[in-house]
Amino acid sequence: MSFINPIFLFAASAALLPILYHLIRKIRARKVKFSSLLFLKATPKALIRKRRLRDLLLLVVRALILGFLAVSFARPFIPRESIPLISQVQDKSVVILLDNSYSMQYRNFFERAKEEAVNIIDNAGNADEFAVVVFSEEPQQVSRLSDDIALHKNIVVNAVTVSNRITDLYKPLRLAEEILKDAKHNEQQIVLISDFQSNGWSSQFENWNIDQSITFVPIKIAEEEVTNSYINKFDLKNKRLGDAVAVQFGLQVGTQGTIIEQVKEVSLWINGKEVDRKMVEEEQSHQVFFQQMDLREGTYQGYVTLNEDNLTVDNFNYFSFMIEQRPSILCIDGSTEFSQSNAFFLENCFYMEEQSIYDFSVGRKDFLTPGLLNNYDVVFLTNVSSLTNQEVTLLKEFVEKGGGLIISFGEQVNLEQFSRNLIDLGIGSLGERIAVRTLELSNAIIGEVDLKHPIFSVFAKSGTGDIFRPKFREYVKIIPDTNSAVIGKYDTDDAFMIERILGEGKILVFTSTFNTEWGDFPVNEIYLPFVYQVAKYVLASSEMENSFVVGGTVPLHSEPGDEWEVNAPGENIFKVTIDETGTGYFRETEVPGNYRAGHGNEQKYFSVNVEARESDLTSKDEAEVYTAVTRSINKSDNEMKLTNLSNILEEEKNQKLWRYIMLFIIMLFLFETFFANRKVEAKSK
């Protein structure tokens, strides 16, 4: 038996002893000298004996009354562990957090974690309640707080699977706290079963610790020595060589763990075939490069893979890429003569015979027909006097579908009419033609560009200000529309280049000429890279992002209401419907691999990979985890004491032994009163 206020027992002892002494004295016969026994007779011994027995009994009863009174004030209770046949464990509410991030795929970690969870559930008390939460990047409560042990066990054994996601330990702990707010027992626990990866601990733990009333139980699933190799980085570069493209696959192999093991080899698979295999050399910082030359137009999906180890999911990196037909450029030049025309200089830039990256053609305005335009990816519209409404419409449609339109000027341009064309295209209105020398007594140069813009970014790397060298004698002033943006200016502060994004394509307006008519740009060394950057830029928007991480969202674009069918790894097929904004989102990216989405004749290919940082299996030990969650090792002792005190008070409150003791005291008191006075009453009779 234990007591809430044991001090009462000591106090009672101090008070009880003299009383007991007095009572004991009463039993024994006092020896007294008396003057004379003349008037007295000895009481019969039998009566004396009877009286002594009675006094002794009364002594015991009175001592019991005092003793039990003290015990009652001391508030006794019987600790559960002292009661036989009663469960030693107090009823509690438990949230089990089960780590199912992909690091738990290491060997049999996840199976062991499930066994731990099942073990905890199996050892539950009769009234214990549980909730199960699995977590990786996001926590997911798979069973609600209840005492249905069979259900929880079934879910853990059969329904819970490991994921391919990374670890975040903060969110599940917060969720567990929230769940326990509805707990019905005072004793509350959060059991965290995990490999306690170091990467799973964010800076959020610095500003938070678990509620002190909750017992935190970390269970680590780990091994003393871990080995793991994985693909840390992967990139893909392609280079067009005429109709063919050369693709370089570069990857870095990471090795982490307590024992670093050499990775033996890496394989490259494309479209289901192993195309190359290489050894990994430590001297080369574990970097491996593959090259595939002469890839033609088509879609390619594949992966690079390491030899098998204890964690295989991070040994693969999937990729998807498309090699399109060589881009075609149409140059419509309004010049009357080819020689020294814009087309002349542009053709000289783009045409490299078989090595040409682009297929360059020169045409006239009558090429602006739907049938012809669809054969091209980029249109240079240079020195054209004006456009008809139909031609404007055609060009707009061309751009909206993903084409690139680059407009420049010259002597043939009818400023008034062309201004209306530009307004229709949403570029802006034309101002006057500026003869710079007349105004400034010198030529204009490019005075200001956005060096972060893809067109000009290559010039920023040179660091020599090459972009500012070309001189321009004349240009056309443009007042840009609100839908267009000035991406470069002359030193006269007039627009040098204006951009407008229209649908899936872009329109660029260069306010001077691509020939030497209005400046010396074509003879400047930056002319060639500039022209290539411009062409490349207007072509880039057609490319879809094709690499995602597990759990990522893949956007699909088409007409509202369209339904796409997505083929996922494992021969799973999903449907995605495009919403009114023209976008549908595919979210079933839990499995790493190559995916294919199709709608009608349109196909899109993309790849999903795990995040490499989860492959670092460095972990914290249980003590570190406990400290990180509870914030203090010493505090846990106090927390335990507080929890114990709370449990003790609850137990005493439940048992209420003091009531029964008081009842017993009252009965004793009644007995004592009756018994002590019984002799007197008899005598009265």
| H-type alpha helices, 74-189 | 109-122, 149-154, 170-180
Candidates 51-59, 80-88, 275-283, 606-614: pick the segment binding other proteins (CB under 8 A): 51-59
Q: Among 18, 31, 337, 370, which residue sits at the site for other proteins (rule: CB under 8 A)? A: 31
Residue 140 burial class via C-beta count within 10 angstroms: exposed 0-12, middle 13-18, buried 19 and up:
middle
User: At closest approach, how far in Å is the CB of 14 from other proteins?
Assistant: 26
Candidates 50-58, 123-131, 281-289, 470-478: pick the segment binding other proteins (CB under 8 A): 50-58
Q: Among 14, 32, 46, 150, which residue sits at the site for other proteins (rule: CB under 8 A)? A: 32
What distance in Å separates the CA atoms of residue 101 and residue 588, rounded to the nearest whole number? 17
Both tokens assigned to 617: 């299996």
Closer to other proteins by Cβ: residue 41 or 273: 41
Q: Among 4, 15, 19, 37, which residue sits at the site for other proteins (rule: CB under 8 A)? A: 37
User: At closest approach, how far in Å is the CB of 60 from other proteins?
Assistant: 16
Distant-in-sequence, close-in-space partners of 336: CB < 8 Å, separation ≥ 6: 412
List, edge to edge, every strand of the sheet that includes 593-599.
547-549, 602-609, 593-599, 563-568, 572-577
User: At closest approach, how far in Å is the CB of 51 from other proteins?
Assistant: 5
Closer to other proteins by Cβ: residue 47 or 150: 47
User: At closest approach, how far in Å is the CB of 32 from other proteins?
Assistant: 6
- The answer to whether 34 contacts other proteins (rule: CB under 8 A) is yes
The letter for the amino acid at 570 is G
Closer to other proteins by Cβ: residue 39 or 296: 39
Three-class DSSP labels, 531-594 = HHHHHHHHHHCCCCCCEEECCCCEEEECCCCCEEEEEECCCEEEEEECCCCCEEEECCCCCCEE
- The answer to whether 279 contacts other proteins (rule: CB under 8 A) is no
Closer to other proteins by Cβ: residue 41 or 181: 41
- Residue 367 dihedral angles phi and psi, to the nearest 5°: -75, -10
Q: Of all helices (H) and strands (E), which one includes residue 317?
A: strand 316-323
Q: Among 14, 18, 38, 354, which residue sits at the site for other proteins (rule: CB under 8 A)? A: 38
What distance in Å separates the CA atoms of residue 436 and residue 425, rounded to the nearest whole number? 27
The letter for the amino acid at 598 is G
Candidates 42-50, 177-185, 305-313, 645-653: pick the segment binding other proteins (CB under 8 A): 42-50
Both tokens assigned to 681: 């009453």
Q: Among 46, 47, 573, 682, which residue sits at the site for other proteins (rule: CB under 8 A)? A: 47
Candidates 43-51, 78-86, 373-381, 571-579: pick the segment binding other proteins (CB under 8 A): 43-51
The CA-based diameter of the chain, rounded to the nearest angstrom, is 169
* Closest CA relative to residue 591, chosen from 555, 556, 557, 548: 548
- The answer to whether 464 contacts other proteins (rule: CB under 8 A) is no
C-alpha gyration radius of the chain: 45
Question: Total residues at the site for other proteins (CB under 8 A)?
Answer: 25
What distance in Å separates the CA atoms of residue 679 and residue 445, rounded to the nearest whole number? 132
- The answer to whether 30 contacts other proteins (rule: CB under 8 A) is yes
Closer to other proteins by Cβ: residue 57 or 295: 57
Q: Among 14, 18, 33, 150, which residue sits at the site for other proteins (rule: CB under 8 A)? A: 33
Q: Which of residues 666-685 bind other proteins (CB under 8 A)?
A: 679
User: At closest approach, how far in Å is the CB of 676 from other proteins?
Assistant: 12
Q: Among 10, 21, 51, 53, which residue sits at the site for other proteins (rule: CB under 8 A)? A: 51
- The answer to whether 35 contacts other proteins (rule: CB under 8 A) is yes
Candidates 28-36, 73-81, 330-338, 373-381: pick the segment binding other proteins (CB under 8 A): 28-36
Residue 12: CA atoms inside 13 Å, Cβ hemisphere, count? 17
Q: Among 26, 365, 433, 469, which residue sits at the site for other proteins (rule: CB under 8 A)? A: 26
Candidates 38-46, 71-79, 532-540, 580-588: pick the segment binding other proteins (CB under 8 A): 38-46
Candidates 31-39, 206-214, 554-562, 604-612: pick the segment binding other proteins (CB under 8 A): 31-39
- Cα separation values, 225 from 201, 256, 275, 536, Å: 21, 11, 35, 51
Question: Contact 533/430 with Cβ under 8 angstroms?
Answer: no
Both tokens assigned to 209: 């610790």
- The answer to whether 40 contacts other proteins (rule: CB under 8 A) is yes
Q: Of all helices (H) and strands (E), which one includes residue 46?
A: helix 45-73
Q: DSSP label at 205?
A: G
Residues in the chain: 685
- The answer to whether 573 contacts other proteins (rule: CB under 8 A) is no
Closer to other proteins by Cβ: residue 289 or 675: 675
Q: Among 9, 11, 20, 55, which residue sits at the site for other proteins (rule: CB under 8 A)? A: 55
In the complex, which residues of this chain contact other proteins (CB under 8 A)? 26-43, 45, 47-48, 51-52, 55, 679
